[in-house]
Structure 1
Amino acid sequence: MDFSRYEKLRTLVRANFSEQTRALVDEALEYADGKLAGLVRYDGSPLLEHAAAVASIVISEVGLGRNSTISAILHDVVRLAHKQLPAEEFLALSADIRKRFGDQVVGITLGLANISELKLKVAKEQADNFRDLIVSYSEDPRVILIKLADRLEVMRSLEMFPREKWRKKSWESMNLYAQIAHKLGLYSIKSELEDIALKYLEPKDYEHVVTKLEESAEERKAFIGRFLVPIEQRLNRLGIKYHIKSRTKSIFSIWNKMHKQHVPFEGVYDIFAIRIIIDCPQEAEKQLCWTAYSVVTDFYTPNPKRMRDWISIPKSNGYESLHTTVSAEGRWIEVQIRTERMDAVAERGIAAHWRYKGVNQGAQTSEMWLGHLRELIEDTTHSLAQRFDAKPASGEIFVFTPNGDLRKLPEGATLLDFAFDIHTSLGSTCVGGRVNGRAVPIREQLRNGDIVEITTQKNQTPKSDWLSLVVTSKARNKIKSYLREEQAKHTRMGREELERKLKNWKFAITIDEAVAYLAKYFKLRLGTEVYALIATQKLDFGSIKEILSRHLSGEAEEERRAAAAEIERQKAALHGTQEKAAPQDALVIDDDISKIQYKLAKCCNPIKGDDVFGFVTISAGITIHRCDCPNAKRMRENYPYRVIDARWRQSAEGAFRVTIRIVAADTTGMANHITEVIVRDLKLGIRSMNFAPAGNGCVAGEVAVEVPGTAVVDTLIHQIMRIKGVQRAYRVN
């Protein structure tokens, strides 16, 4: 093969890796060249050039190692094979790659292939898919990092792609991939993805900002020169080793600020920043950074609101720096103070952070790095959820363990979040704790600077209502995981016990039929709920045996039929005689009754189509009640002489109010879906609507709707039940 095409990558490999790795990279290039022979990109260049460019980014801009580099080279080979080859051939290819390059390369490339096959929709739902994608493939976080490198290479080459792909790829890069890069501390990748995406999404705006930056470049350079003179003189006199970079704000950041604050280019005051980078041993870092800070503030007045100290408390992704904004010549200028080590971490993100901690010193530290990265990725899914569910971005609080260890949590975090943040077993057995020496329950919200101590009990376990007491994804995921395991355990235990009992009783019924009947009998939605009641001993086998015996003997059905016949008989006794003798004597309820004062009873709210009767009151004329009204029996028994027959006129028109009770999953937009069905689909009027959380991730409430009669109520309930997430809907009155 022609290795000269890939000389940039090979030079990087020579500079960063051992002789053995160089040989493996060359073997991977040759292997991929053979498998991808004849395949080209949109501009006619070999497809392998894309993979080689991604591998170069993986080494030089993300800072990953040998396995990631080889995976980047082979990712298109595995992706295409996964898509096109039959299962047996694909397994043979995987085995070949495993033998040549090892298990990790197979795992990473397969993860990348799976991501490529996930079809993302350009819309808000895309964020949901992407969150699932991250969680699915965070088994090995390197997959996400290589995917970022892959996307960066695609964006740099986007010009060669068909025009119809520009917008979709730019949208994804700006709204999804750039957010991940930011969370992982890969700020330069984040900025470049956003800038290129803006160039394709808003070309005119992009050109405007670029032109303005070019026009003001000379003036900016002169200003920076004047600004730095006193600072450099003092730093030199103090003997501090340093160098200075001036960094212009990214094009996207400037554009974003112009849009959000509705200001022209000139109104964006912190267009550039000065970075003072100090060269010193790690133990002297804090002291020298604060010395440099005092030098800057000796000459220029700082804005106290714009001070950021990420040296005392670094960001969770390892970022350390001291930021201040100072006033000079009537304008604000941001000054960032950091060391060479901190700058490498800021440029290369979490990989550099752990490299400085000694990733190359062995597999254990490497595992720590990957573990930390996995935590960050899990946390990222939570922040993306907030971003796309349009919730306000919450701040962060810092709390301490009794030993003085610092923990960072989101605003609104509770004692339970803190317990899970320290360790899963601590969270699972938490029963309360002490905050600043004061005893508090698990739901206690923590505040900045609190000293928190956890109290546990061995027999404590996570409960479903805990989900409403936590805000961190770590706590939520651990609780959900435990509840799922418990539910599966209960289902298994309950089913085994019931199967055993049915065998002992020698009942001629399958377990599925028995469970279906029991669920119906106890008005439960799922069979698993029956098993859970059995497993937790809330349902005893004596009752089950009796219920199933009556069901199998047909006794239960006979009772039901007898009860139905009795209701019919009572109805006939109530209405029959009068109707046969003189149906004209019945009170006919219409929307236009002259001289007869009647009103519809509030206790049962009858509507056209309901079986009704009239009741003569002393002060309010006649009230119309439903025959199944809770008060009907008492009225008939105590005042039979006041009861009069009533029926609806067939042609009667009117608006009756009916109240429907609804229990549904607590998902975004549920109220809108219900409103749309009632108003848009059924063309009915809503008079009131009231929902509140009901625990277990559900909301419950009532909707009062104006209907012309009972026929519409059945349709209304049926349509509401069809809404995804609605669990129950029934008429209250």
Structure 2
Amino acid sequence: MMRQYELVERVRRYNPHVDEDLLDRAYVYAMKAHGAQKRASGDPYFSHPLEVAAILTDLKLDDATIVAAVLHDTIEDTDSTREEIDRLFGQGIGQLVEGLTKLKRLDLVSKRAIQAENFRKLLLAIADDVRVLLVKLADRLHNMRTLHFVPSDKQARIAQETLDIYAPLAGRMGMQNIRDELEDLAFRHLMPEASQMIKAKLDELREKNGQIIAQVERELRDEFSARGIEARVEGRQKQPYSVWRKMERKSIAFEQLSDIFGFRVVVKTTEDCYRAIGVVHTKWPNVPGRFKDYISTPKENDYQSLHTTVVGPGRQRVELQVRTSEMQDIARYGIAAHTLYKDGRVADRDVLVRESRAYQWLQRTIELLAEGDSPEEFLEHTKLELFRDQVFCFTPKGELIALPRGATPIDFAYAVHTDVGNSAVGAKINGRVAPLLSRLQNGDEVEIVRAIGQIPPAAWEHLAVTGKARSAIRRATRDAVRAQYTGLGRQIVMRAFVRAGKDYSEDGLKAALPRLARVSVDDVLAAVGRGEIFSGDVVKAVYPEVVDERKAVMPRPEGEPGWFPLPKAASLVFKVPDANGESSLNSIPIRGLRGDLPVRFTPNGGAVPGDRIVGILTPGEGITIYPIQSPDLIAFDDQPQRWLDVRWDIEEGHPELFPAKLMVTAINEPGTLGMIATLIGDTGANIDNISIHELSADFREMIIDIEVTDLKHLNGIITQLRAKPVVSKVERVNG
């Protein structure tokens, strides 16, 4: 176990102004707090936070971060409190330790939900101070190094969590060294046989190609030296998990991989990078399509380098990366490179936001927390973005947009701005009209076609790739549904005030909000639209003297052939349509499924313009429209408060199709079904579904769900079907 003075000396190597007293006090405090606690290995528990601190000294982090590492488990696993940490070490260190403390006593139903909520809390803490992330990654790295001491039933879960969350998170923060080690440790526990097999093949290949590697290094140094380029050349080998992942992704064998060995060239300046790549391409032919410039277009984790593949000695493919020393630091340490000591202090968040694309990505991810996602949805969306490689696309103005591989113009639109995504109706890719579901490629120029008032379809949520797009689509859908319920509720409430002979005003409704247990007028109206509050209760809350109309007894329209007798109280909330199927102007206008109200039609026969209709308010679902002759209305005879006065409001010149159902009895002979379908199609109607039942050897009964413009259209189809010699009987189905 590391001694007290050894910790101080490790920090002093890169920070001569180390606060020795602070480190000493933290060491002693944590050692006493953890006391006799033991790790699964049998070692004193205190050895773990010391090893975490040691990992962070390799990243040359400030004193506060090292102290937070030493103390990071005290609040969670000992009797220490945040208040005590603040008092002894300051609020800054207390905040770091609190951010690293898992939530306790969570009232959640599953381990997955607990994991998600803890991850959410961690990211919120990282948003305040990125050093929380650095300590957490170091903590996870040491836990993975000692995972073999943990009971076997926990090893797989911890390794999978590391592979799912922490290794990709380290990668997105540019901390490639930590990512590589986390992935290989997890790989070793999750797939030990595959890990051992690949490691053995890599060792065998290294021994076989040792001379070629040395030859390439020597020739590169000689070429650079001859042209006055000061460069350091290092051979490198892919990590076992990286090899496995590529084999899986491309479905190829180990022997088919051509880039297991590569070379890194480190030079002084950016200009030298391009000079060096010119030297390499002059000496050896490059492989077409394998040159990538991540200097002019850095990755989102701040990675910068030039990549190329050439055909080197012995006709072997050789992969090279060329970068400066500063780029090398960022490639190794990622966001930690931005927190190296600058005049004795760590870079603040504003500096990170300005300098680090990785931190900008993290900030955008944190914004998703404000979108109302559940913790599990947030975790899933974050994992989606962590795992995917990137494509780089451009707006028509030349702005670069980085997206996960597999992203579509939908994701692109939301990456530009949420309003652009919500109003998107089409896209042009490289000047050509393309479907919104097209997969984008590197270098595509994407123009989004927009329409005012557009609402993104709910189905887009399952088509989008990025968490930002999915979250925004879900929020827009929620808002649109709420707006529909609010609009329906406003119409219901206004008509309730008219029936009561009272004036409706939002000011009056605001004054009654406490009696309705709602915080805003829109909340009340939406609740009425969803059927959670009865409109009469709203009237009574504003005007207490009004009699509850649910207790009134009114005459009902009875006796007319084909009409269903309405409940006695229904006439207060439903006005019988006139002979033209129209109700009074106080009724709610119905335009169809694509109107601005939450409307659906009864599945047992539907309703079409020209029918006399009634609306039934279903809590949480909006209005269900029934033709007045539907026997299904019997079920609502004792619920008069759910009956609504509705009328058709069809926009001329913009015909819409409405659902209806026909029962057709026809002769069972070849061509009958085709004849019926052709007739219906020729009238401009649409067949939505057909079910066929055998009545006898000679006759079949067809239940046909069709869509028509109005009652006249429907009756015309019925008349034409009855005229066909193969048709025995046609009836409209109502319930």
Deviation string, structure 1 residues 308-350 (Cα, Å, up to 9, x no partner): 2101111111100111122232332211111111111000012
**Given the superposition, is the C-alpha separation of residues 75 and 454 from structure 1 closer, same or farther in structure 2, using an over 3 Å criterion?**
farther
SS in 2 for 1:19: coil
Deviation string, structure 1 residues 9-62 (Cα, Å, up to 9, x no partner): 33321123353533212211111112111112223322111001111222324x
Deviation string, structure 1 residues 110-168 (Cα, Å, up to 9, x no partner): 12112688799999879866764555444333323322111100011122223332222
**Given the superposition, is the C-alpha separation of residues 98 and 25 from structure 1 closer, same or farther in structure 2, using an over 3 Å criterion?**
same
Partner AA of 1:417 in structure 2: Y
Corresponding residue of 1:21: 19
1:502 Cα deviation from its structure 2 partner:
6.5
**Given the superposition, is the C-alpha separation of residues 605 and 455 from structure 1 closer, same or farther in structure 2, using an over 3 Å criterion?**
closer
Aligned to 1:96, which of 74, 81, 84? 84
Aligned to 1:169, which of 143, 158, 177? 158
Partner AA of 2:75 in structure 1: V
Partner AA of 1:296 in structure 2: V
**Structure 2 residue 412 is the aligned partner of structure 1 residue 412:** no
1:176 Cα deviation from its structure 2 partner:
2.0
Corresponding residue of 1:220: 209
Corresponding residue of 1:80: 77
**CA distance in 2: counterparts of 1:36 and 1:520, whole angstroms:** 54
1:461 Cα deviation from its structure 2 partner:
11
**Structure 2 residue 142 is the aligned partner of structure 1 residue 190:** no
Deviation string, structure 1 residues 362-388 (Cα, Å, up to 9, x no partner): 675256568962632644989974696
**Structure 2 residue 325 is the aligned partner of structure 1 residue 340:** yes
Structure 2 gap segments, 5+ residues each: 369-376, 494-503, 568-601, 607-625, 634-658, 662-687, 694-732
**CA distance in 1: counterparts of 2:107 and 2:196, whole angstroms:** 32
**Given the superposition, is the C-alpha separation of residues 431 and 660 from structure 1 closer, same or farther in structure 2, using an over 3 Å criterion?**
closer
Alpha carbons 1:78, 1:109 under 8 Å: kept: yes
SS in 2 for 1:209: helix
1:220 Cα deviation from its structure 2 partner:
2.2
Corresponding residue of 1:305: 289
**CA distance in 2: counterparts of 1:519 and 1:362, whole angstroms:** 47
Decide which structure has greater helix share.
Answer: 1
Equivalent residues in 2 for 1:497-576 (5 A)? 501=508, 510-511=515-516, 524-526=530-532, 549=546, 551-552=548-549, 554-555=551-552, 558=554
SS in 1 for 2:263: strand
**Given the superposition, is the C-alpha separation of residues 339 and 563 from structure 1 closer, same or farther in structure 2, using an over 3 Å criterion?**
farther
Alpha carbons 1:275, 1:337 under 8 Å: kept: yes
Aligned to 1:375, which of 345, 352, 361? 361
**CA distance in 2: counterparts of 1:406 and 1:605, whole angstroms:** 53
Alpha carbons 2:170, 2:176 under 8 Å: kept: yes
**Structure 2 residue 277 is the aligned partner of structure 1 residue 293:** yes
Corresponding residue of 1:365: 351
Corresponding residue of 1:319: 303
Alpha carbons 1:467, 1:476 under 8 Å: kept: no
SS in 2 for 1:305: coil
**CA distance in 1: counterparts of 2:515 and 2:193, whole angstroms:** 70
Corresponding residue of 2:45: 47
1:201 Cα deviation from its structure 2 partner:
1.9
Equivalent residues in 2 for 1:418-429 (5 A)? 419-420=416-417
**CA distance in 1: counterparts of 2:43 and 2:386, whole angstroms:** 45
**CA distance in 1: counterparts of 2:526 and 2:541, whole angstroms:** 13
**CA distance in 2: counterparts of 1:367 and 1:543, whole angstroms:** 55
**Given the superposition, is the C-alpha separation of residues 732 and 263 from structure 1 closer, same or farther in structure 2, using an over 3 Å criterion?**
farther
Corresponding residue of 2:67: 70
**CA distance in 1: counterparts of 2:660 and 2:100, whole angstroms:** 49
1:266 Cα deviation from its structure 2 partner:
2.5
SS in 2 for 1:325: strand
**CA distance in 2: counterparts of 1:433 and 1:27, whole angstroms:** 62
**Given the superposition, is the C-alpha separation of residues 127 and 162 from structure 1 closer, same or farther in structure 2, using an over 3 Å criterion?**
closer
Partner AA of 1:501 in structure 2: G
With the length of structure 1 as denominator, give the TM-score of the two structures.
Answer: 0.60
Corresponding residue of 1:152: 141
Q: CA RMSD, aligned part only?
A: 5.9
**Given the superposition, is the C-alpha separation of residues 263 and 127 from structure 1 closer, same or farther in structure 2, using an over 3 Å criterion?**
farther
**CA distance in 2: counterparts of 1:126 and 1:503, whole angstroms:** 40
Alpha carbons 2:220, 2:233 under 8 Å: kept: no
Corresponding residue of 1:687: none
Aligned to 1:106, which of 56, 76, 94? 94
Partner AA of 2:402 in structure 1: K
Partner AA of 1:408 in structure 2: A
Corresponding residue of 2:576: none
**CA distance in 2: counterparts of 1:395 and 1:6, whole angstroms:** 45
Aligned to 2:392, which of 390, 397, 400? 397
Alpha carbons 2:394, 2:446 under 8 Å: kept: yes
Alpha carbons 2:52, 2:69 under 8 Å: kept: yes
Corresponding residue of 2:712: none
**Given the superposition, is the C-alpha separation of residues 504 and 264 from structure 1 closer, same or farther in structure 2, using an over 3 Å criterion?**
closer
Aligned to 1:241, which of 230, 233, 249? 230
Aligned to 2:36, which of 35, 38, 51? 38
**Given the superposition, is the C-alpha separation of residues 462 and 544 from structure 1 closer, same or farther in structure 2, using an over 3 Å criterion?**
farther
**Given the superposition, is the C-alpha separation of residues 512 and 561 from structure 1 closer, same or farther in structure 2, using an over 3 Å criterion?**
farther
Partner AA of 1:32 in structure 2: A
Alpha carbons 2:330, 2:337 under 8 Å: kept: yes
**CA distance in 2: counterparts of 1:9 and 1:560, whole angstroms:** 89
Structure 1 range deviating more: 305-314 or 544-553: 544-553
**Given the superposition, is the C-alpha separation of residues 204 and 151 from structure 1 closer, same or farther in structure 2, using an over 3 Å criterion?**
same
Partner AA of 1:10 in structure 2: V
**Given the superposition, is the C-alpha separation of residues 543 and 364 from structure 1 closer, same or farther in structure 2, using an over 3 Å criterion?**
same
**Given the superposition, is the C-alpha separation of residues 104 and 41 from structure 1 closer, same or farther in structure 2, using an over 3 Å criterion?**
same
Alpha carbons 1:274, 1:335 under 8 Å: kept: yes
**CA distance in 2: counterparts of 1:392 and 1:188, whole angstroms:** 17
Partner AA of 1:344 in structure 2: D
Corresponding residue of 1:578: none
Partner AA of 1:302 in structure 2: N
**CA distance in 2: counterparts of 1:210 and 1:437, whole angstroms:** 44
Alpha carbons 1:135, 1:378 under 8 Å: kept: no
**Given the superposition, is the C-alpha separation of residues 170 and 431 from structure 1 closer, same or farther in structure 2, using an over 3 Å criterion?**
closer
**Given the superposition, is the C-alpha separation of residues 468 and 138 from structure 1 closer, same or farther in structure 2, using an over 3 Å criterion?**
farther
Equivalent residues in 2 for 1:608-647 (5 A)? 629=629
Deviation string, structure 1 residues 59-86 (Cα, Å, up to 9, x no partner): 324x5433222111101111124xxx5x
* Aligned residue-pair number: 553
Alpha carbons 1:51, 1:76 under 8 Å: kept: yes
Alpha carbons 2:38, 2:44 under 8 Å: kept: yes
SS in 2 for 1:232: helix
Structure 1 range deviating more: 180-189 or 63-72: 63-72
Structure 1 gap segments, 5+ residues each: 532-538, 572-601, 607-625, 634-658, 662-700, 707-730
Alpha carbons 1:435, 1:451 under 8 Å: kept: yes
1:389 Cα deviation from its structure 2 partner:
7.0
Corresponding residue of 1:139: 127
**CA distance in 2: counterparts of 1:455 and 1:516, whole angstroms:** 28
**Given the superposition, is the C-alpha separation of residues 98 and 344 from structure 1 closer, same or farther in structure 2, using an over 3 Å criterion?**
same
Partner AA of 1:288 in structure 2: D
**Given the superposition, is the C-alpha separation of residues 99 and 130 from structure 1 closer, same or farther in structure 2, using an over 3 Å criterion?**
closer
Partner AA of 2:530 in structure 1: L
**CA distance in 1: counterparts of 2:71 and 2:118, whole angstroms:** 23
